[in-house]
Amino acid sequence: MSVDYNALARAYGLEQAFYPTLKAFKQLGIGATLGYELVKAGELRIVYLTDRRGVIAARDLARFLDSRMDRTCGQAQPRKRRAVAVGR
Asked if residue 9 lies in contact with residue 62, where contact means CB atoms within 8 angstroms, the answer is yes
pLDDT of residue 17 exceeding 70: yes
pLDDT at 87 (0 to 100): 60
Name the DSSP class of 74: T
Could you tell me if 59 and 5 are in contact, meaning their C-beta atoms sit under 8 angstroms apart? yes
Task: Give the Cα separation of 20 and 64 in Å (integer).
Answer: 16
Instruction: Give the pLDDT band of residue 88 (cuts 50, 70, 90).
Output: low
Domain positions in the chain are: 5-71
- DSSP calls for 61-85: HHHHHHHHHHHHTTSPPPPPPPP-P
Evaluate whether 32 touches 25 at the Cβ level (below 8 Å): yes
